[in-house]
Amino acid sequence: MFKQVEDCGYEIVDLTCFDVKKVQSKAMEMAKEGFFVIILGKKEHPEVKAICTNAKIAAQNEEFIYVASSVQALKEIEPQIKSAKKVGVVLQTTQTKEYLLEVIDYLSKICRVLKIENTICPSTSLRQNEAKKLALESDLMVVVGSKKSANTTHLAEILTNITKTIHIEHQDELDIFSEIIKKAQNIGVTAGASTPDLIINEVIKKLENIN
């Protein structure tokens, strides 16, 4: 496709995130080497769709590529996994380390050869770890960012298991949770990787006014 664009006289400027390209590259390498490639992530997410498409082209066989959003999804194709000579795993960059470890624990018991490429974005992992520490000290966490953003949604899901958490996209949504906010003694604020500082600051300012 890129060559067709270039043949039309256009210059291609690839602005794909380095970490996202790394996942695509690892998945394609595994596919070319004959691995049954498992992509850990959300099937309908654009990043996962791109990884999947590139891997299928490299493998030249769609049956050798599978997307799983949970260990349960892997259990549904356990016979296929067991029959594979070698299994390779890559992750959508915004997945969690906990999910990866859960998958490793399961697959290591049923695979003949298992290759794992930890392609979680380092900054995403750091953000999650820092947010978890903050959540342990807070009785309410406010996660700011798009509800369509994978890394922001994951962040909210993780924190929900630690303390009361609300996920908002902008300051106006805080009005819905005003009673919860007023009752909170310690409020922590975190945000998705692409959330502008301006929006975060507006949320913090409104929280101060409410509380």
- E strands present in the chain: 36-40, 65-68, 87-91, 114-116, 140-144, 165-168, 187-191
Q: pLDDT of 59-106, one tens digit each? A: 887 789 999 999 999 999 999 999 999 999 999 998 888 899 999 999
Check residue 105 and give its pLDDT: 97
The answer to whether the Cα torsion of 69, 85, 22, 6 is positive or negative is negative
Q: Is the pLDDT of residue 202 over 80?
A: yes
Q: pLDDT of 132-153, one tens digit each? A: 999 999 999 999 999 988 889 8
In what side-by-side order are the strands of the sheet with 87-91? 65-68, 36-40, 87-91, 114-116
30: which 2 tokens? Answer: 């595994």
One of 47, 102, 130, 173 is an active-site residue; which one? 47
Q: pLDDT of 111-125, one tens digit each? A: 999 999 999 988 888
Q: Is the pLDDT of residue 211 over 70?
A: no
Q: pLDDT of 155-187, one tens digit each? A: 999 999 999 999 999 999 999 999 999 999 999
The residue-averaged pLDDT of 122-131 equals 88
The residue-averaged pLDDT of 34-44 equals 95
Phi/psi for 163 (5° steps) reads -155, 175
Is 76 labeled as catalytic in the residue annotation?
no
β-pair type (187-191, 140-144): parallel
